[in-house]
Chain A
Amino acid sequence: MTPPTSFKLKTLVPAVKAELFTDASECEITGCYISDLLSDVLAHAKPGVLWATVQTHRNVISVACTKDIPAVLFVCGRKPEAEVIKEAEEAGVILLGTPLTAFAAAGRLWESGLHE
């Protein structure tokens, strides 16, 4: 089985008009998972994906850590609290935000070549 293609997160940032809340220079992702239910992410998200959600609660960081999710994309213009950004930095989770809906963001990520 061929390993999943990984993308430099930084190269996908313009496609989703993303604002970076933490440093994303070294991050690579293998796909995208969209869900706002944390238990669903715990059950179904694959490690290495970019997680798109409207949830900005600090629990998102803990779930990302548990599932080895390197980066979280807050959609619909949602912005995390400063405390959440600090926790993400400490935990090594990258946070981005986009004004796009999850659907529009997914479409643009797909067009950029991210198909998993």
Chain B
Amino acid sequence: MLEELSLHILDIGMNSLAAGARKLEVAVIENTKRDWLIIRLRDDGQGMDAETLQDVLDHRASSKKGRKKNIGLGLAFLQQTSEMCGGTFHVASRPGQGTTVTASMRLSHIDRPPLGNINSTILTLSARADVDVQLHYRSDDQTFHFSSQEGKPHEPRRTQEAQR
């Protein structure tokens, strides 16, 4: 568990970049009427097979006997936060088909961490010029969309300009 949900998103988003993702979609959905907050990260990275995924969720990324070191705790931390705040946690992943992490929690749960600085998180993840990082944010009826590739010249147009 981390101080802000944005730090969970940053942590898991960095995994997507490390997994070679070219597109990372982050969705944050708040529904006050139903009292849900849903966070979803979907990437097109290398994905994981069932065994690797289970190892990650069971903290067995390092299978050495005795003291475990340098294990990735990002997914385990978000799972703990979700379950502590009355929600659910799910990871879907297949080799070559990317990974989708979905975490829900009660919006009004007293232990729910604040969303925090989502702007910094998305900006940090967007530092890689070759990855399209998208944020879909919905709070009841209000929506906001960001793509790190917006406004950037598309590849074909650049080629046309080069030909002129």
Seen from chain A, the residues whose Cβ lies within 8 Å of a Cβ on chain B are: 37-40, 55, 57-59, 61-63, 65-66, 68, 91-92
Is the pair B77, A66 in contact by a Cβ cutoff of 8 Å?
no
Is the pair A66, B80 in contact by a Cβ cutoff of 8 Å?
no
Q: List B59-109 residues whose CB lies under 8 Å from chain A.
A: 59, 66-71, 73, 76-77, 80, 84
Seen from chain B, the residues whose Cβ lies within 8 Å of a Cβ on chain A are: 1-3, 7, 59, 66-71, 73, 76-77, 80, 84
Residues of B within 8 A of A40 (CB): 3
Is the pair A37, B3 in contact by a Cβ cutoff of 8 Å?
yes
Q: How far is the CA of A61 from the CA of B69 in the complex (A)?
A: 11
Most chain A beta-carbon neighbours within 10 Å: one of B3, B67, B69, B70: B67
Some 26 contacts from A to B, beta carbons below 8 A apart, are A37-B1, A37-B2, A37-B3, A38-B2, A38-B73, A38-B80, A39-B1, A39-B2, A39-B7, A39-B77, A40-B3, A55-B1, A58-B76, A59-B76, A59-B77, A62-B59, A62-B68, A62-B71, A62-B76, A65-B67, A65-B69, A65-B71, A66-B68, A66-B73, A91-B67, A92-B66
Q: How far is the CA of A61 from the CA of B77 in the complex (A)?
A: 12
Report the nearest A residue to B84, measured CB to CB: A57
Contact of A91 among B66, B73, B84 (CB under 8 A): B66
Q: How far is the CA of A39 from the CA of B6 in the complex (A)?
A: 13
